[in-house]
Amino acid sequence: MRRPAVMYQRILKPIFRRNGQLFEELKQSSAANFAPCGTLPPFRSTIIPVVPLQLFDTQDLSLPMSQEKLDRSNQFFNDAKAFFRHIKAIRSDLNFSDLDLSDPDLRDPDLLMSKKRKKIRIVLLDTGIDAEETRMEMAIDDGRINRAESKSFVDSPWDQDDDMHGTNVAELATRAAPTAEIIIGKICERRDKLEDVLPRLAKAIRWAVKEKEADVICLALGYRTPDEAVERAVDYAIAKRVLVVAPASNDDGLGERGSMNPPRLDDEKNFLTLGVGIDVLWKGETKLKSGTSFAAPIAAGFIACMLEFITDKVTDLSAVQVKKLKRKKGMEAILRKMSKKVYVGGKHYFIHPQNMCDWERADAVQRAVSRVKEALRDV
């Protein structure tokens, strides 16, 4: 049985259920969902209105955004600081250049190679980044964004972003995954310049899997028209145990659902995370933005952090459990352990590391390890 593309099942299917309402209705919504198992439901072209191709769902909320919304957004990241400290400590311990090679314990080749473990890789497929923006420049300089591995699939370079959508997505990914290695794949130049973008997207997904060996692919985008090449590319990624994150639902930072979301799916896990009132760079200025595009990189970042944590701390997983970790059901089980249930228009799971355990506690690592084992045991 083929695994359908995540964007079809999680973005298009809900839209079709609403009898083909325009994609613009999805503004202020965001979150992460994974490609589910099963067959692709049939689509009826008679209910598809003719609309221009639209990939990105963002909204400039600089004027109407309340201070309360901004405070919630800031609190979301502040509450994750203890979690990030644990993740950074893991990577600090794995810094090969800082190892004392005279230590007899490090003469074991297997132990030495474990200390040199590669970073978790997130590939962002978007409009590229503006490398002249201060935060992007810093991320490139310190290696969080891999300059050598990034690539453009259009005429302009990957480190030039005339739209700023990709820059915002990359900024949020660096905030949510402080130790991950981020690779940029530029698939379009602007949201109003989308000729042949879907074939490029399909090509870029395969590139991310085959050539870049991505652990996570973040697609902070969506579209209405089914595309077989993209579907096959996503199927290929899933078959290679790459986690694909795409937007479908959001919240305001404290678990309150965003004002406009696609309907929840009764037969699937419905996750949401921060997507409202986020301060991001915008052509040299800091502005507030909301949209599905902004929760996807946050969720992708949290997933990368958990992969780092589990690889280092949960060392007694079976081979089967390790494989499950890179599958939809396995990662969903992990995300449920770091989520709390919220009931707004149905049950959703609000993702935040603090929901897994209090990371300020002395026994936080042990508690988190136990929860991970519980999650994978039941999958």
- pLDDT single digits (tens) 285-307: 777 777 778 889 999 999 999 99
Q: What is the dihedral of CA 219, 174, 284, 27, to 10 degrees?
A: 40
Q: Would you say residue 263 has pLDDT above 70?
A: no
203-241 tens-digit pLDDT: 999 999 999 999 999 998 877 778 899 999 999 999 999
* pTM of the shown model: 0.78
What is the band of 151 on the pLDDT scale with cuts at 50, 70, 90?
Answer: very high
Question: Is 45 one of the catalytic residues?
Answer: no
Q: Is 310 helix (H, G, I), strand (E, B) or coil?
A: helix
**274, 8 Cβ separation under 8 angstroms:** no
Q: What percent of the chain has pLDDT over 90?
A: 49
**163, 190 Cβ separation under 8 angstroms:** yes
Instruction: Return the higher-pLDDT residue of 95 and 87.
Output: 87
Whole-angstrom CA distances from 186 to 75, 116, 174, 343 are: 31, 29, 17, 37
Q: Would you say residue 15 has pLDDT above 70?
A: no
Q: What is the mean pLDDT of the chain?
A: 78
Q: Looking at 57, 126, 251, 312, which residue is catalytic?
A: 126
Q: All domains of the chain, ordered by start, with CATH? A: 15-95+113-316 (3.40.50.200)
Q: Is 160 exposed, middle or buried (0-12, 13-18, 19+ CB in 10 A)?
A: middle
Q: Looking at 30, 163, 165, 348, which residue is catalytic?
A: 165
Whole-angstrom CA distances from 44 to 49, 261, 335 are: 11, 22, 33
- Cα(288)–Cα(274) distance, integer angstroms: 13
pLDDT of residue 43: 30
In terms of Cα–Cα distance, which of 336, 326, 319, 315 is closest to 378?
336
Question: Is 126 one of the catalytic residues?
Answer: yes
Average pLDDT over residues 100-127: 69
Q: Would you say residue 35 has pLDDT above 70?
A: no
Q: Is 288 helix (H, G, I), strand (E, B) or coil?
A: strand
**DSSP one-letter code for 276:** S
Average pLDDT over residues 149-168: 95
**Nearest-5° angle of CA 274, CA 276, CA 281?**
95
Question: Is 165 one of the catalytic residues?
Answer: yes
